[in-house]
Structure 1
Amino acid sequence: MEDLELLRYSRHILLEEFGIDGQERVSRAHALVIGAGGLGSPVALYLAAAGVGRITLVDDDEVDLTNLQRQVAHSTARVGLPKVDSAAQAMRALNPTIDVVTHAQRADAALLDQLLPGTDVVVDCCDNFATRHIVNHACVVHGKPLVAGAALRFDGQLSVYDTRDATSPCYACIFPPQADFEETRCAVMGVFAPVVGTIGTLQASEALKLLAGISPSLAGSLLMFDGRRTAFDTLRIARDPQCGVCATRKPVATSITSTD
């Protein structure tokens, strides 16, 4: 590791649980971030700041003035740009040593099948159930850990779905694709900006822990955040043996090691 890298990442390296070994793992890693909006903004910035070697951003939207209340990777000057390009500019300004790859398109099965084989962690920051289920299915098929978050109004939730572990549920175990969930958008219901930032920051934390080999993760737990009470609640979640997505999936070996 070069002297400037040691200096840039020194506060992580000073952590016993992280150290030089953890930083080197992070620097070699590839993170895939689905969505460059309210959740994806802090995820992208924190992963870039931490020195994740390659970060791929996927989003088909453009920066709009209404985004700027919460999507902190963007700016007034970049209204109208594809969100992935706007976020990439902010990430490169923060850390020019990393590789940022952008795909200004919606995440679909074909794109994910192309991207996931070379990915170490997937961070789902999208805003709709259909894409979440497509991303989850791809992560199960390719044996990749998924950090998924959501936020609306004053409420947020977060979990890690890591089916490399035989006991860990996938997203579909908890939110079955056939279930009749009422889908609402922040454009209709509104969203308290710091809640989005809180969940996105925690997603970045879980992703970095996975990459650095720091345990435990949130796998097997659903973290709920109430922004009105500023309170967290944790629910234990179990793998569904009848899940149509992961029930027949065998756990795969992983090269990520824990420092615990």
Structure 2
Amino acid sequence: MAYITKYIYQLLQEVFEEHKDPRVQHLPLVGSPLPMAIAIVSYLAFVLHYGPKWMENRKPFNLKYVMRVYNAIQVIANFIIFVYGVPNSYMRKEFSLTCQPIDHTNTAPWMWNLIYLSYGYYITKYLDLLDTVFFVLRKKNNQITFLHVYHHAGMVFGVYAFMTFLAGSHSTMLGVINLFIHTVMYSYYFVTSVWPVKRAVWWKRHITQLQLLQFGYLFIHFLMAIVRNHCQHPVIVSFVGVTQNLFMFALFFDFYYKEYIRKPKLLAKEQRRQSKQQQQQQQRRQHWRR
């Protein structure tokens, strides 16, 4: 067993050394997977076990103003990176929408801009983990779902892999779309923290629809690099992109169906039942009065 573990470790180390991007190795949290792995394990341990256990006999924290500042920072950060990221990627004639190759030798000024913008996006994925931490501290444990935790932890790992091996490649689209979605999403969170929820609640359903469109398009985007791979983008990376976005689409659609299709039907059915009961009770009262 020890021999097998050692062999797998050496194999992964060889793959890492062969395919790592030398342009980004100086950046914190890029390169060695250890800091990233520690962050994910610490996050999972806190939100799934130690955090809820620590809060078990405590009152929920009032984080209204903290979360308001947090949401504002998220909106500003995601919007700025998105606004500067598009001109340095898909608005350039050198950057292909259909199949952008991995080129670790590209050191053009616009590519360096894109790399550092991508790094900024990577850092926001660690910031996103605070969403779940706030759930724990506010004792909103019902919101700590598999979808929520898997999505946040998976994004940290996925964007780490992108930064370490794939910066400036076909996978850039994932970050561009996600930045736009998060700008809208955290704007919603900020608005609902300032004004009554009922004034902004109509956003919520459309945000989930945007997320479904995101995963649907990314599925097609990575599929293009498999069907017509003229840039020699690694098929395994494209395959992971296809399957992951299909999986995320299925999870988000399941949430959308339960929350916005099935739940309203059940509520309407319950309201009709209660209305019928009230009518029957009223009819019985009128009968006894006679």
Q: What TM-score results when the alignment is normalised by the length of structure 2?
A: 0.28
Structure label with greater radius of gyration = 2
Say which structure is richer in helix.
Answer: 2
Higher relative contact order structure (alpha carbons within 8 Å, sequence separation ≥ 6): 2
Say which structure is richer in strand.
Answer: 1
